[in-house]
Amino acid sequence: MTRRLADFPAGEVARRRDELLALCAQAFCGAPWHEPPLGAVRTVERLLGSAAGRPDFRAVAAFGPDGELLGFTAGWTDTVLTGREPAFELAELVVAPAHQGLGTGRALHDAILAAAPGPRLLMTLDVPELTKRYEHWGWTVADRRTPGTSGRVYAVMRREDG
């Protein structure tokens, strides 16, 4: 499969809003997330709202041979997950279902982290399918949290290298 990785600046994120909505809706509707379409809207609106306006916003996208959006990742430096020290937060990693399992997610992951030295954090649904993947990529579970009222447990994961 041919794919091209490229920086995904805030202006391009905004221009491709509808594609991002469709991609997130596809990726989050199935296992393990089982999110309704509103979950995709929340994800994209967060990116276009406060996140993309941050000076430290960074995103990378994967494109197919015809320019179609296959996936993206985004992050920024924050203290929300640590409560104190600044760390790069890998906030989103989304791959179209038809392109999952083909190395696209790992390529996006590695590309965004290449420019993010120091401590890194992410928060993901605490299910083996996700935590094992991130552990395989060098992350360790640092904490578990149950934010909001959904009762869903999330793993806060940390990676120190870089």
Residue 121 identity? L
Structure tokens given for 54: 């941050």
Structure tokens given for 114: 């290449």
Judge whether 39 and 33 are in contact, CB under 8 Å: yes
Question: In the chain, pLDDT over 70 holds for what percent of residues?
Answer: 98
| pLDDT value, residue 162 | 52
pTM attached to this predicted model: 0.88
Judge whether 108 and 73 are in contact, CB under 8 Å: yes
**Model confidence over 34-84: pLDDT tens digits?**
777 777 777 778 777 777 788 888 999 999 999 999 999 999 988 777 778
| pLDDT value, residue 1 | 65
| pLDDT value, residue 84 | 80
Write 126-134 long-range contacts (CB < 8 A, 24+): 126/153, 126/154, 126/155, 127/32, 129/31, 129/32, 130/32, 130/155, 131/155, 131/157, 133/105
| pLDDT value, residue 155 | 94
Question: In the chain, pLDDT over 90 holds for what percent of residues?
Answer: 48
- Residue 115 DSSP SS3: coil
Q: Peptide bond before 147: cis, by omega within 30 degrees of 0?
A: no
| pLDDT value, residue 128 | 92
| pLDDT value, residue 72 | 94
| pLDDT value, residue 52 | 79
Q: What is the mean pLDDT of residues 143-153?
A: 85
| pLDDT value, residue 40 | 72
